[in-house]
Amino acid sequence: MKFPASYYNPISLIGSIIAGVNIVIILFFLIAMMFFNVGGSYIGLYIYMILPIFLISGLIMIPIGMIRRTRRLKRIGEDGVKKGLKIDLDDKKQRNAMAVFVLGSFVFLLLTAVGSYEAFHFTESNEFCGLLCHTVMEPEYEAYEGSSHARVKCVECHVGAGADWYVKSKLSGMYQVYSVLFKKFPKPIPTPIENLRPAQETCEKCHWPEKFYSYRIQNEKHYLADSANTEWNIQLKMKTGSEHIAMGLVDGIHWHINKDVKIEYIASSSEREFVPWVRYINLATGDSVVYQDIYDTMDPTLLDSLEVREMDCIDCHNRPSHDYLPPQEFTDLLIASGQIPVELPEVKTLAMEVFNNTYADRDTARQVIEKRTLEFYSSNYPQIMEENRKLVDKAIEGFMYGFSKNIFPEMKASWDVYPNHIGHIEYNGCFRCHNGNHMNSDNQVISRDCNLCHTILAQGTKENYKSTSINESLEFIHPVDIDESWKEYACFECHRYLY
């Protein structure tokens, strides 16, 4: 088959070879992926993004070569070149070229359509968001994999439906690619996200506030840092909704997102952990009440300069899928699940000691933790080391498992930098407003009543477990004797710095 003379030049020929080779590779990968189910998370990157760049560059080289060649032929006046653009289908060479051009364009357009559709899908996939920039996204991805949202795609919360947010996310995505390539990204990645899509447009696609539950029973298991790792249980009835679901969100915890309620606040730190100013607006009556923290006061001009934020789901559920647990919490969970043996004396105390250190990377952590654990049991419990060494080895594996799921030294990501606003034990959480110090002009405070948000149905050790009926509440007993100080201090003021 012959092509116009202008085609026969090095640039066009090299372009054709590049394009041809890439088409073959792409088809090969596609077939391999479809029929033999091979290829990991990166194959999409090659098929839909990298190889097409070469393919298109090859295709562009063909006309460039031809134009250069034509110009040259014109200059030296060789034959076969006519002035202007005339297509003569009687000429066999031109007919061939034309057929190849039409067929090629058709195939190319088809591939482009399929390719861009797949490229779109690929950039929306969890592999693209979570695995491609492995070190950067590792903490978020690991935590996500262990969350209730592990089957919800990253983009369903971070982008949502609609073209405008798609474009916005791709624009900021381009900056992110740049910052990863040139290592300009911050460690840890700052939270909160500056322009996260409003929760109503993402969370409420799946969670419908009209149909929230009334209550939720929560069982918590703790192990004290004593020689027996004493088990301490607490059962709470969380008052998430109203007494009866038909009443809507008239009271209970989800009252804050009632259609008639608007709560605005000003945070004094960028992580939104301290809230000196709150305004509650009743949208039905138009009344509004301002509460200010009597201890954490702020200069009015400074207050005016800060962002007023309207409360939504994220102001409580800020860690729905990236929850880095504090060591005391994940250790309790691992003891409860048996991954850290409860029979091993002082294992909770030791866990708190080793997790209280910071490590440069995971390998160093493993070395230090392993060494310290072996040393601890050798010198304090030599009999266990001799007769039951496997318990100690199991504990080390348990420690490292907890570490690998919750602490990410490379990205400096851990519970300490990513507070969870639900609750009030290790973080300020609900007590950002409900600490009993936020007062309005009538000297009323936002309630800190222990029965406002939950009741305690049962508590105590295994041997001494006290319980009551579902409509009653026990008075809280602090697991270790700290006198009445839990009534005066916020729990997090001790618990954040316990170990």
Footprint on residues 126-185 left by ligand HEC (CB under 6 A): 126, 129-130, 137, 140-141, 144, 148-149, 152, 154, 156-158
| Least distance between ligand HEC and beta carbon 117 (Å) | 21
| Least distance between ligand HEC and beta carbon 361 (Å) | 20
Should residue 207 be labelled a site residue for ligand HEC when binding is judged by CB under 6 A?
yes
| Least distance between ligand HEC and beta carbon 87 (Å) | 52
Considering only 175, 178, 213, 465, the residue that binds ligand HEC (CB under 6 A) is 213
CB 47 within 8 A of CB 29: yes
CA dist list (Å): 484 to 16, 430, 478, 488: 82, 21, 9, 7
Should residue 247 be labelled a site residue for ligand HEC when binding is judged by CB under 6 A?
no
Should residue 234 be labelled a site residue for ligand HEC when binding is judged by CB under 6 A?
yes
Rounded to whole angstroms, how far apart are CA atoms 267 and 260?
Answer: 23
Task: Compute the residue count for the chain.
Answer: 499
| Least distance between ligand HEC and beta carbon 384 (Å) | 21
Tell me whether residue 112 or residue 461 sits nearer to ligand HEC (CB atom).
461
Contact range with ligand HEC by CB under 6 A, out of 58-66, 166-174, 221-229, 462-470: 221-229
| Least distance between ligand HEC and beta carbon 106 (Å) | 38
CA 229 to chain centre: 33
Tell me whether residue 90 or residue 194 sits nearer to ligand HEC (CB atom).
194
**In 3-state terms, what secondary structure has residue 475?**
coil
**Tokens standing for 390?**
């496997």
Considering only 48, 128, 212, 408, the residue that binds ligand HEC (CB under 6 A) is 212
Tell me whether residue 43 or residue 133 sits nearer to ligand HEC (CB atom).
133
Rg (the chain; Cα; Å)? 32
Residues 6+ apart with CB under 8 A from 417: 188, 191
Should residue 7 be labelled a site residue for ligand HEC when binding is judged by CB under 6 A?
no
Should residue 314 be labelled a site residue for ligand HEC when binding is judged by CB under 6 A?
yes
Should residue 255 be labelled a site residue for ligand HEC when binding is judged by CB under 6 A?
yes
| Segment 436 to 475, residues that bind ligand HEC, using CB under 6 A | 446-450, 452-454
Considering only 209, 345, 409, 460, the residue that binds ligand HEC (CB under 6 A) is 209
Instruction: Report the largest interatomic distance among the alpha carbons of the chain, rounded to a whole angstrom.
Output: 105
The H or E element containing residue 44 is helix 43-45
Contact range with ligand HEC by CB under 6 A, out of 13-21, 23-31, 164-172, 272-280: 272-280
Should residue 424 be labelled a site residue for ligand HEC when binding is judged by CB under 6 A?
yes
Rounded to whole angstroms, how far apart are CA atoms 9 and 23?
Answer: 21
Should residue 318 be labelled a site residue for ligand HEC when binding is judged by CB under 6 A?
yes
Could you report how far apart the first and last alpha carbons of the chain are, in Å? 80
Q: Which residue has the tokens 């602090």?
A: 478
CA dist list (Å): 52 to 39, 61, 100, 145: 18, 14, 20, 31
Q: Which residue has the tokens 């003379």?
A: 5
**466, β-bridge pairs:** 459
Burial category of 37 from C-beta neighbours within 10 Å (exposed 0-12, middle 13-18, buried 19 and up): exposed
| Segment 280 to 299, residues that bind ligand HEC, using CB under 6 A | 280
Should residue 333 be labelled a site residue for ligand HEC when binding is judged by CB under 6 A?
no
